[in-house]
Amino acid sequence: MAPNQLYLSFKISQIRQRRFADNYSRFTQELTTLTGKSVGRGTLIRWERGQSIPRLPFLIAIAELGATSLDNMLKPSYDLSTTDVPPELLTQLSSESLQDVPAKFFQIQNYPEKRSVTKFSRDIFNEFGYQISTTKLAYWINGEHRPNPLYLYPLAHMADISVDELLVHPYPLDLNR
């Protein structure tokens, strides 16, 4: 299980219970409306039990339904703050901004100094406790694979930005604020 998968499953359950009580079908209908992709009750139950992880479009929709940020959803804690409402992420995310993610990872890898993938992996582990293999990181940086959404949190925070900023802001990121 990924380091923050338990926290994420708890937050998904909390959002569903706050918004729709025990009505799974209304929650899945809202997710379908927001993403344009259907999701079944069984899938939702697996997300809430931590048996699987929603893909990024569903995570964004769940965050919007919970009136929270994607960063807060992926944060390794049980705290589900609803004070940092995201600026309509679904409308701001474009296929171009997602295509830039590998270049953004490369930029973060070399922020604030140039470092190898191995050192980057070690730094992520030392700072966040996430063990990401150098092979996975290299695939993500080279754009050969998309990362599991749970790993977006430490990658973004290595550059002191939120997951929302990582996904929405165009490349290159303004890391020297």
Q: Where residue 64 sits, what CATH number does that domain have? A: 1.10.260.40
Q: Do 76 and 100 lie in a common domain?
A: no
Distance CA 101, CA 80 (A): 26
Q: How many domains does the chain have?
A: 2
Whether 145 has a pLDDT exceeding 70, the answer reads: yes
**What is the domain extent for residue 84?**
5-91
pTM equals 0.90
pLDDT at 85: 57
pLDDT digits (tens, 9 = 90+) for 46-88: 999 999 999 998 999 999 899 888 999 999 999 988 765 555 6
Q: Do 38 and 113 lie in a common domain?
A: no
Read off the CATH number of the domain in which 119 is found. Answer: 1.10.260
**173 belongs to a structural domain:** no
Q: Do 78 and 101 lie in a common domain?
A: no
Mean pLDDT of 159-164: 93
**174 belongs to a structural domain:** no
Q: Do 76 and 111 lie in a common domain?
A: no
**41 belongs to a structural domain:** yes
**147 belongs to a structural domain:** yes
pLDDT at 25: 92
pLDDT at 102: 95
Query: Which of 91, 118, 138 marks a domain boundary?
Result: 91
DSSP string, 37-105: S---HHHHHHHHHTSS---HHHHHHHHHHTT--HHHHHSSSS----SS--S-HHHH--HHHHHTHHHHH
Mean pLDDT of 157-169: 92
Q: Do 80 and 107 lie in a common domain?
A: no
pLDDT digits (tens, 9 = 90+) for 81-112: 876 555 566 667 766 667 899 999 999 999 99
